[in-house]
Amino acid sequence: MDNMQRLGEEKVSKLLRDFSIPSIVSMLVGALYNVIDRIFIGNSAGSLGIAGITIGFPIMMIQSALGMMVGIGATALLSIKLGQQKRDDAERIVGNTVTLLFIISIVMTTLGVFFLDPLLVLFGASGEVLPYARDYMRVILVGSIFMGYGMGMNNFIRAEGKPNISMATMLLGTILNAVFAPIFIFVFKWGMTGAALATVTAQGISTAWIILYFLTGKSILKIRRSNLRLRKEIVSGIFALGVSSLAMSVAQSVLSVIMNRSLLTYGGDIAISGVGVIMSLVTLIMMPNMGINTGAQPIIGFNYGARKFDRVKATLKYAIIATTVISTIGYIVMMLFPTQLISVFNSRDAELIAFGRRAIVYFIFFLPLLGFQMVGAGYFMAVGKPKQSIILSLSRQVLILIPALLILPIFFKLNGVLAAIPLSDLLATIITAVWLFVDLKRESRKSVESQGDGFPAMDFGPDPGFGPGGREGEPGPGFAPPGSEALPSANEQKAL
């Protein structure tokens, strides 16, 4: 059975697992870069070191977002050309991408290093945190070229239909980072610079792996010197298709800046450090949910186009069940063991642990709802309604949260900063639920009018296939869901 047949005929729960697993693994692997750095830095440089990484995060987001913008836009063009059997045109896109990523990386490094201190101060670095943030980000910026190629060109490997190689590339970088970080930090005693060097070195080796893949004959497409010269029509096409990804990342960077400055104003450096730790923990929970959401989209999209609405609803139902189970398990673990989890990042700083215990309650208050919110937004993208999807995707982290961060602290100080998180989670979920319900009812009505084959009523009963051994009605914590194509960058993952 080929992929097209599978999408329209195979058991939905099995499809969802198969499509999401590679995506989940890749996203978790990418997110671990930042978590590893914060753990080792927290246990060497302390809370000021964690704050330094957190302050530099908006720069890292823009850095990776530029690479992903080129990678996503180029991959979309590339997939079209491959589908049209125009291999020469596809290779021209690959060559232009190589050149474009090089230019963007050099510009990013030059501007970033030159304006580093003013940017860090603007983003919320205090006089105490600034040296830590500077030592870390200076090395990260010099390594922009590795991040650019790693994030941008890894998409091409997936476009060739080799997601396992793409996943192995990301896994290689994360494992190497975990090996290099303790050596550089504790053995060589390089501190913040050592943590950044570990990350850049791991990314450099991972990028070399990708380049070798395209140069040694293993790839379908090749990097050819004749294709490196930029072509206006290719570059403009890449930017047009990738700019929405960049816009969302820039919006999230702005959010990080506002959050950091609010935390500095009302809670000081310890608040920035504590929130940095909590966001690392939340990211590890949200990555599997994002993987399930990404894996569900091609299944929903295909069956929506084929007018198989029962399969659309089944996919939506199973994705919501799986993400809710994962979010709820994460919520329970974080509520039961806040001290132990925060202590992994720094077991000596009593003030950091005390703040973290207090703040974590705010940050995860509506965590069990977020899987539904993410899948609901993904549904609209899958059925060809990108405007709704973009609005819903941005609602939680930008459209609601940014105004809340600007208004609530005026009245409630630090509590207002922390309360902005659950407020945005709740409102975004309500908006998504209403919009999704209305759209499903509308599609059901249209289907009845045209074919008499409407959406079945939403049923969250037992799922045949998510449980251990494939038995019915066993979602359980052991579920390890499904895969996908265009993945967000490591730093984009960290933003969640």
User: Cα separation of 321 and 265, whole Å?
Assistant: 40
Question: Does position 470 have pLDDT exceeding 60, yes or no?
Answer: no
Residue 309 has pLDDT above 70, yes or no: yes
Average pLDDT on 305-314 reads 86
pLDDT band at 161; cut points 50, 70, 90:
low
- Looking at every residue in the chain, the average pLDDT score rounds to 85
CA torsion 288→294→298→300, rounded to 10°?
80
pLDDT greater than 60 at residue 119? yes
How high is the pLDDT of residue 317?
94
pLDDT band, very low/low/confident/very high, at 74 (cuts 50, 70, 90): confident
Q: How confident is the model at residue 2 (pLDDT cuts 50, 70, 90)?
A: low
Q: Are 258 and 81 in contact (CB under 8 A)?
A: no
Total number of domains constituting the chain: 1
pLDDT given at position 447 = 65
pLDDT tens digit string along 270-297?
999 999 999 999 999 998 998 898 888 8
Q: Is 329 in contact with 475 (CB distance < 8 Å)?
A: no
Express each pLDDT in 22-39 by its tens digit. 778 877 877 787 788 899
Helix axes 47-83, 232-267, angle to 10 degrees: 160
Q: What's the pLDDT band for 483 if we cut at 50, 70, 90?
A: very low
pLDDT at residue 61 tops 70: yes
Q: How confident is the model at residue 242 (pLDDT cuts 50, 70, 90)?
A: confident
The tens digit of pLDDT for each residue in 348-370 reads 999 999 999 999 999 999 999 99
Q: Tell me the pLDDT band of 3, cut-offs 50, 70 and 90.
A: low
216: containing domain? 3-494
Query: Looking at residue 448, what is its pLDDT?
Result: 66
Nearest Cα residue to 244 out of 380, 72, 395:
72
**pLDDT tens digits, residue range 329-342?**
999 999 999 999 99
Q: Give yes or no for residue 485 having a pLDDT over 50.
A: no
Q: Read off φ and ψ for residue 472, nearest 5 degrees.
A: -75, 150
Half-sphere exposure at residue 347, Cβ-oriented, CA atoms within 13 angstroms: 4
CA-based nearest residue to 199, from 354, 57, 408: 57
Q: Which helix (H) or strand (E) holds 222?
A: none
pLDDT at residue 4, rounded to an integer: 61
Average pLDDT for residues 86-113, to the nearest whole number?
Answer: 93
The 10s digit of each residue's pLDDT in 389-409 is 888 888 888 899 999 999 999
DSSP 81-94: HHHTT-HHHHHHHH
Reported as a single tens digit per residue, the pLDDT across 429-468 is 999 999 999 999 888 777 666 654 444 444 434 443 333 3
